[in-house]
Structure 1
Amino acid sequence: MFNVTVSGGCQIGDKRKYNQDNFYLNRQFRKNTRENNNLFLDINTNDEIQIYAVCEGMGEDKLGEIASSVAVQTLAKYHEEAFKLCSKSTIQKCIEEYIEDVNERLCDIRNNLNEKYIGTTIALVAIYGDYLYAYNLGNTKIYFISSNEIIQMSKDNIDIIPSKVLFRINKGDKFLICSDNLSTSISNTEIRKIIKNSKSDNDAVQKLVDKSLLEENIDNITAILINIESREYNRVEILLLSIFFIFIIVGINFLS
């Protein structure tokens, strides 16, 4: 498992009454949407299973806000229940069941309110062991960022079936999840430059959000920057490594 530092920012801007964005930082999210239109968070964790997401609500006025809120609240529920029981072979199924559940909940809300449309994008990153699982519905972006390149991992889509990518992570890797408003107002090259030259991940997120909000007709900006700090070994891995080195030492002594 890895030690990971994460910075996230969600800001309403000054052009919209409701913040239709929400984010999820490994159990933290905008719980009181009325009072937390502008929220920045930082966390450091080495949890075996880590979950991060950006959701951009869609629908008239506060319907989008409701939709993204439902998505992160449902994710928190799955994080505490289903994801705890997941294994490396079942985590992808758990994520897909979560996405289906959100869709069903939003369909129920639409029918109960007699509305034509309510929805949300979901760009979700799960870190489990040595792998990162990237899922997205809609046009919210997921990027892999290194010292010399930036690669969009997500694929824009409008299907209920999410696009997905499996990625083996290493120390020093960075990943950005961001709302479409950010990715359309700042070029990929500029995004990488800001992240590389910022004094901290928190500073980078603040700069990305602030720069996006300077653009005309841009509001509701959200970004999560995930930094893979270091590799940590659990007890089983330590035991296996110890046995491995014992065999090496015994083999060397035998040959000598």
Structure 2
Amino acid sequence: MANDDKSAAVSHVGKIRANNQDSGYAGTHLFVVADGMGGHAGGDVASAIAVRRILEIDRHYPTPHEAVFALQSALIAANALLAETVFEHNELTGMGTTVSGILRVDNHIAVAHIGDSRIYRLRGDALEQITTDHTFVQRLVDSGRITPEEAAVHPRRSVLMRVLGDVDAAPEIDTSVLETAPGDRWLICSDGLSSYVSDEKMKHVLETVTGANAAAERLVKESLDAGAPDNVTVVVVDIDETNDSAHVPPVTVGSASIPLSYDSDSAKRSLRLPTLLLHPLKATQPDPSHFEPESEDYLDELIQEDRRRALRRRVTWLVGLALVVIAVVVGLVLGYQWTQRHYFVGNDNGTVAIYRGVQQDLGPIKLSSVYSTTKIKLSDLPSFNQQQVKSTISADSLALAQQIVDRLADARTN
């Protein structure tokens, strides 16, 4: 790799997936990660088409604002190309892709993002997530409905609210221009990394591993070691005083690095985008990392579902707590009843008495009480018997307790 290994792109299929639906690119000025969705039929095609279209803008721009406009325009053009491809290949209906990319312009970075792939910046000892996930659970976190910890295990955590694909002809792209400085290290990754490797672990790797390629390889390994079933793609870009992080020659990884493969036998129609926009775009099909349109009806439905899930969890917790309380109460009642079937002989203000219960107490709860007193004074007994009574003498029944009292009466000194 040129330029002392200042940038790198690495992609791995993961431990379960049969094909790699991720694509990545590290170029002269442009760095991109795309995570395809739509199942085996189209996720790889979607990310490959998007990255191949976007990498066409990899060149120098006079200003960062021109760069961010070019990047945003490239994502929208890729979206149109995906919609057109689906129209010509019906078997790809529902495919889509996330895209997170940066264009470097001297000491600035132009950012464009849609979906749940992420862009991070390590500056000093602080790792900052630059992008915001376009997911349903992130909406819930932003609105205060759930915590980030709850979002990590939420059953809808894979639901994307925004992607490039055949659903929205004018997708909303997040864009920004940020300053960068020598020593900064930028990370772009698919959720195959961010969903399985903690920010703390990513930060440790980025801080300690020298060289962009070694850091990217290490991050992929961390994801695989964590058991990540999903594809994982990582792009690392180091910034130094030379203003040169170019990967020479540019490298493409993942599905964008191999020939496109999809069913070419389906009927095709020569129809360009202006005509296509006159037709309603097709809805997506469910997928493990599926997309749902950002409509109010759907959001309301998911929010209601989340509330029902929270209510069920609360009811389950309360029922479980109630059962535990009932079990404790029943145990205490049965235990107390058991103690009341036992007796012992002891001292009651200097007089021998028969007690019902056991000698121990349960906190403030007395587990014994005087059942009957006798006329035997403790002082009339021999020293040995006095000590026995003071220490209490156990009896398994009232009859045995009475026999002990009779023996003590016979032992009195005259």
Pick the TM interval, shorter chain: 0.7 to 0.9
Contact 1:8 1:25 in 2 (8 A): yes
Contact 1:134 1:165 in 2 (8 A): yes
Counterpart residue type for residue 135 of structure 1 = A
Q: Deviations over 1:169-192 (max 9, x none)?
A: 111111100111201111111101
Structure 1 unaligned residues grouped into runs of 5+: 27-46, 234-256
Contact 1:3 1:231 in 2 (8 A): no
2:282 alignment counterpart:
none
Is 1:78 equivalent to 2:57 in the alignment? yes
3-state SS of the aligned residue for 2:172? coil
Is 1:206 equivalent to 2:217 in the alignment? yes
Relative to structure 1, the CA distance from residue 110 to residue 205 in structure 2 (aligned partners, 3 Å threshold; closer, same or farther) is same
2:274 alignment counterpart:
none
Shift of 1:99: 0.9
Q: How does 1:1-256 map to 2 (within 5 A)?
A: 5-26=6-27, 50-79=29-58, 83=59, 87-114=63-90, 115-157=92-134, 158-159=161-162, 160-231=171-242
Contact 2:112 2:174 in 1 (8 A): yes
3-state SS of the aligned residue for 2:205? helix
Task: Give the Cα separation in 2 of the matches to 1:119 and 1:232.
Answer: 34
Contact 2:34 2:98 in 1 (8 A): yes
Task: Give the Cα separation in 2 of the matches to 1:107 and 1:163.
Answer: 20
Task: Give the Cα separation in 2 of the matches to 1:155 and 1:172.
Answer: 24
TM-score (norm 1): 0.74
3-state SS of the aligned residue for 1:90? helix
Relative to structure 1, the CA distance from residue 216 to residue 88 in structure 2 (aligned partners, 3 Å threshold; closer, same or farther) is closer
3-state SS of the aligned residue for 2:240? strand
Shift of 1:3: 9.7
Structure 2 unaligned residues grouped into runs of 5+: 135-160, 163-170, 245-414
Higher relative contact order structure (alpha carbons within 8 Å, sequence separation ≥ 6): 1
Q: Deviations over 1:185-205 (max 9, x none)?
A: 111111011121224332221
Greater Cα shift, 162-171 or 117-126: 162-171
Counterpart residue type for residue 127 of structure 2 = I
Task: Give the Cα separation in 2 of the matches to 1:91 and 1:147.
Answer: 26
Shift of 1:88: 4.0
2:393 alignment counterpart:
none
Task: Give the Cα separation in 1 of the matches to 2:80 and 2:121.
Answer: 31
Shift of 1:132: 0.5
Task: Give the Cα separation in 1 of the matches to 2:243 and 2:97.
Answer: 35
Higher Rg of the two aligned structures = 2
Contact 1:205 1:224 in 2 (8 A): yes
3-state SS of the aligned residue for 2:104? strand
Name the count of aligned residue pairs.
Answer: 207
Counterpart residue type for residue 197 of structure 2 = I
Contact 2:54 2:71 in 1 (8 A): no
Higher strand proportion (structure 1 or 2): 1
Contact 1:57 1:120 in 2 (8 A): yes
Shift of 1:112: 1.6
Task: Give the Cα separation in 2 of the matches to 1:148 and 1:12.
Answer: 31
3-state SS of the aligned residue for 1:14? coil
2:314 alignment counterpart:
none
Greater Cα shift, 137-146 or 197-206: 197-206
Identity of aligned residues (%): 22
Task: Give the Cα separation in 2 of the matches to 1:65 and 1:151.
Answer: 29
Counterpart residue type for residue 188 of structure 2 = I
3-state SS of the aligned residue for 1:23? strand
1:246 alignment counterpart:
none
Contact 2:7 2:212 in 1 (8 A): yes
Task: Give the Cα separation in 2 of the matches to 1:55 and 1:155.
Answer: 15
